[in-house]
Amino acid sequence: MSKREKKKLTIDEYIDIGKGDITLYIIVTIILLAISLYFGIKYNFYFHLLFIGLIMIGRVSERIDTLLTLKKMKRYLVDNDLLDKIGNIDYWNDRYYFLTDNYMIIKQKKEIFSFKYSEIERIFKESYLELSKHSYSQEHLHIIVNDNDFKILISTTVLVGEDYRDISDYLIKKNPNIIVDETIKE
């Protein structure tokens, strides 16, 4: 394996990483709160303690949600006898979907779905542009499978807690028969 080639991980390895992430975030939270408490006592200023605490608790809860999603996905794959059929995991976006050799596995509205790339009928992009005091832009990819519309984030100017990328080319490579519709701009 060359240096540039990334080792393919199993779902169990992703679960172990998720557990490690939670432990790491808890340790960092405790350290930051201890440092904040020290400065709060020294300078009689405690507001930053609440601020840091809320941010870190939010980050820990995101990591817990991710671990629960991973475990739910594994349970789904085992229950549907797909664990040995998915092949290697090519990509995990750190939140709610996997791209594997043979299937896409995705969590949408608290449910887990899986489908073969050959089942994807069409894809299209949807772009949002908000011009205001808090301007931002986002782009989502819609994946249409058997009348289900799976929407994933592929671009944003907003800070999010997930890895995002445009997977259109990957999907088309897996299934060249996918119909690519025009981008919708809002």
Question: Tens of pLDDT along 86-145?
Answer: 989 999 888 889 999 999 999 998 899 999 999 999 999 988 877 777 777 888 899 999
pLDDT, residue 129, reads 79
Predicted local confidence at residue 1, as pLDDT:
40
List of residues 6+ apart from 86 with CB closer than 8 A: 77, 98, 100, 101, 102, 103, 105, 114
pLDDT of residue 50: 76
pLDDT at 4: 47
Three-state DSSP state, 93? coil
Confidence class for position 6, pLDDT limits 50, 70, 90: low
Strand-strand pairing, 111-116 and 103-108: antiparallel
The percent helix, strand, coil of the chain (3-state, each to 5) is 40, 30, 30
pTM of the model: 0.81
Measured CA to CA, the distance from residue 118 to residue 40 in angstroms comes to 58
DSSP string, 85-111: TS-SEEEE-SSSEEEESSEEEEEETTE
Is pLDDT at 160 greater than 80 in this prediction? no
Token digits for 151?
A: 């929407």
Paired with 108 in beta bridges are 111
Rounded mean pLDDT, 142-151? 92
Query: What confidence score (pLDDT) does residue 11 get?
Result: 93
pLDDT in tens, 8-63: 888 999 999 999 999 999 999 899 888 888 888 888 777 777 788 888 888 899 89
